[in-house]
């Protein structure tokens, strides 16, 4: 009557496992054992067995995220660099309605190029690019409300 031990009621997150396998392959690791709290990962690579991953008890991704033994590998296709909103507020592409936008598609920016203004609490904050490259897409409209971390420009 107890929960079946094969995890019948759990969802799954294979991304982490994939990352682990990728790491192991990349660095030629044949055996790994990671333990954090109640969670334990054991993986062996060899001719007989592809992978073994006894899971003591399900644990959330967040709980293992900081595990130093499994550093992030950004093998995912790059989606391009973006300039993100550093604060919540209203996005303005130009200093005044009649002015030209600070930047537009094709503009080249460096770290301290002002790319837009975000108004928060009647304060007009000039937002620097904080990165360099060429603007390939403007992702928000003039006057749009934007939230913290929202991508504003795509950069190449």
Binding partner of residue 31 among another protein, a second copy, none, CB cut-off 5 to 8 Å per kind: none
Contact mark string toward another protein, 6..35, x via CB under 8 A: --xxxx------------------------
Of positions 26, 35, 50, 58, contacts another protein by CB under 8 A: 58
Token digits for 124? 């007009």
Kindly state the smallest distance separating residue 67's Cβ from a second copy, in Å: 14
6 touching a second copy, by CB under 8 A: yes
Binding partner of residue 121 among a second copy, another protein, none, CB cut-off 5 to 8 Å per kind: another protein
Binding partner of residue 137 among another protein, a second copy, none, CB cut-off 5 to 8 Å per kind: none
Of positions 27, 28, 46, 60, contacts a second copy by CB under 8 A: 60
37 touching another protein, by CB under 8 A: yes
Within 13 Å of residue 38, how many CA atoms lie on the same side as its CB?
Answer: 6
Sole residue written with tokens 């130009």: 94
Sheet with 114-120: list strands edge to edge. 123-128, 114-120, 89-92, 145-146
Q: Between 61 and 121, whose beta carbon lies closer to a second copy?
A: 61
Q: How does 70-95 read in b/e, with b if 16+ C-beta sit within 10 Å?
A: beeeeeeeeeeebbbbeeebebbbee
Nearest to 84 by CA among 50, 55, 115: 115
55 touching a second copy, by CB under 8 A: yes
Segments of 71-150 assigned E as strands: 81-84, 89-92, 108-109, 114-120, 123-128, 133-138, 145-146
Q: Between 69 and 105, whose beta carbon lies closer to a second copy?
A: 69
């Amino acid at each position: 009557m107890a929960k079946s031990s094969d995890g019948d009621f759990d969802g799954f997150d294979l991304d982490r496992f994939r990352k682990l396998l990728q790491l192991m392959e990349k660095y030629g690791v044949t055996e790994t054992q990671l333990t954090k709290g109640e969670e334990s990962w054991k993986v062996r690579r060899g001719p007989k067995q592809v992978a073994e991953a006894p899971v003591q008890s399900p644990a959330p991704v967040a709980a293992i995220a900081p595990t130093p033994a499994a550093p992030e590998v950004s093998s995912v296709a790059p989606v391009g660099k973006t300039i993100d909103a550093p604060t919540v507020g209203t996005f303005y592409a130009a200093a005044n309605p009649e002015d030209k936008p600070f930047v537009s598609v094709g503009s080249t920016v460096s770290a301290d190029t002002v790319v837009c203004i975000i108004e928060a609490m009647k304060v007009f904050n000039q937002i620097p690019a904080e990165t360099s490259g060429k603007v390939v897409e403007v992702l928000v409209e003039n006057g749009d409300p934007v939230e913290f971390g929202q991508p504003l420009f795509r950069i190449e």
